[in-house]
Structure 1
Amino acid sequence: MDLSITHMILSAGPMVKFVMLVLLVFSVSSWTIVLMKWALLRNIRRDSEDFLDSFWGSPNLNEAYKEVNQFPYSSEAAVFSAGFTELQKITKIQSSKEESNQPLGMQMAAMDNLKRAVRKAETQKFNEFNKALPFLATTGSASPFIGLFGTVWGIMTSFHQIGQQGSASLAVVAPGISEALVVTAAGLFVAIPAVVTFNYFSHKFDQADAAAQHFTTDFLNLIERDLLGRSK
């Protein structure tokens, strides 16, 4: 009696094979997402560090904006790009009016538009980073139950064979029980890496979002100080 894992899978019933196929699809999809997110996280770190060095080293916002497209994975670059674009629109509207100096209240009202623009860019980037992560959470929560279904089905098959052969010897019970346990192990094998990587990437992307929020605060403070200086 061959009780190797490969033999047990190949000799399993149609339902158990189907469950194993479903788990295989979940596993391949999960590891594909993990590799993609790993590369994305590396690019985020690189682009964010390079953009911040470029931004704080630039003499003015115009010079910083010229290089912003070089950092497509940086949340800070996306926030600055959206904020600078909105700032240009505000400046164009204010310069088209007759008064050279706008009241402080109007300038601060324009800041509300700027804040909404940068917050929207920040949220969009955060959602982009977390795209497909829910699949890892779904895999982590569903795979053990899918494996459990295969286990229950395998045990039911074993009891059916016992009833047909009228014997409960180890030679009759062992193959079906072994198949069932293999499916359980497969479900855990798929679920555990998915849960671990989901928590890891969620934490790292939360850190990236927090860093973007810090930059957003610094950027808005910089613009507000400039507006207050113009109003005097």
Structure 2
Amino acid sequence: MDISIWHMIAGAGLMVKLVMFTLLVFSVVSWAIIIMKQVMFRRTTRESEEFLEQFWESKTLSDAYESAKDFPLSPEAAVFMSGFSELKKISAVRNSQQGSETLEMQLATMDNLKRAVRKAHLIEMDRLGRSLSFLATTGSATPFIGLFGTVWGIMTSFKDIGMRGSASLAVVAPGISEALVATAAGLAVAIPAVIYYNFYSGKLADFDSDIENFSTDFLNLIERDFLTRS
């Protein structure tokens, strides 16, 4: 008797095959996301390091803005570009109100800048975390999908036992083994999805911390060297 996994899948019922196909789809999409995120996070880390190095070496914010355009994957670069764009608008308003700007107006413009930086921060975190929810769904759902296939296969096996009128091991074992393959497949899909979801969640938290630190440094720089000028 051929007891290979492929033979057991081929010999399974229609519902179990449908379950296996569903698990295959989850697996293919999950591994595509895992590979995509690995490549993207590696490039993002590299570009962020290069941007920060150039940012602190730049003599003016305009020079840093031109450098930031070369790092499309760097969240810090995106936050800076958004903040710098808002800063230019603030500068235009200040120039038109030269001599009439009050402390309250300066504080209001600083609040506008903070909101622009915060919005860019949230947009970048959403971009970096996109598709990770699918890994979480895969990790939580596929074991139960596989279990459903197993339960269905076992019910079919017991039905066959009743029709044959025999409950010997030779009759029961093939059907049960075919059904259990679904549970094993569900776990095989879920385990790497959970591992990489937790790993990338940790990376995402690191990115969030780095962006927050850069945003704080950038806002402090602006508040100290630009908005405090009278």
What TM-score comes out, normalization by structure 1 length?
A: 0.97
- Note the C-alpha offset of 1:229: 4.2
- Note the C-alpha offset of 1:206: 1.1
What TM-score comes out, normalization by structure 2 length?
A: 0.97
Aligned equivalents of 2:213, 2:131: Cα separation in 1: 26
Aligned equivalents of 1:69, 1:56: Cα separation in 2: 15
Query: In 2, are the aligned partners of 1:75 and 1:209 still within 8 Å (CA)?
Result: no
What's the CA shift string for 1:152-184, capped at 9, x where partnerless? Answer: 011101111110111111111011100111111
Identity of aligned residues (%): 61
Task: Letter of the 2:159 partner, please give it.
Answer: H
Task: Letter of the 2:112 partner, please give it.
Answer: N
| 2:124 aligned residue | 125
| 1:223 aligned residue | 222
- Note the C-alpha offset of 1:13: 0.7
Secondary structure of residue in 2 paired with 1:67: helix
| 1:56 aligned residue | 56
Give ranges in structure 2 of 5+ residues lacking alignment.
Answer: none
Aligned equivalents of 1:154, 1:140: Cα separation in 2: 22
| 1:102 aligned residue | 101
- Note the C-alpha offset of 1:11: 1.0
Aligned equivalents of 2:90, 2:59: Cα separation in 1: 21
- Note the C-alpha offset of 1:66: 1.0
Give ranges in structure 1 of 5+ residues lacking alignment.
Answer: none
- Note the C-alpha offset of 1:71: 0.7
Q: How many residues align?
A: 230
Matched, 1:164 2:163: yes
Secondary structure of residue in 1 paired with 2:69: helix
| 1:203 aligned residue | 202
| 1:11 aligned residue | 11
- Note the C-alpha offset of 1:100: 3.6
Query: In 2, are the aligned partners of 1:43 and 1:73 still within 8 Å (CA)?
Result: yes
- Note the C-alpha offset of 1:102: 2.4
| CA-based RMSD | 1.0
Query: In 1, are the aligned partners of 2:139 and 2:193 still within 8 Å (CA)?
Result: yes
- Note the C-alpha offset of 1:104: 2.5
| 2:175 aligned residue | 176
Query: In 1, are the aligned partners of 2:110 and 2:227 still within 8 Å (CA)?
Result: no
| 1:77 aligned residue | 77
| 2:28 aligned residue | 28
Aligned equivalents of 2:213, 2:178: Cα separation in 1: 53
Aligned equivalents of 1:187, 1:203: Cα separation in 2: 25
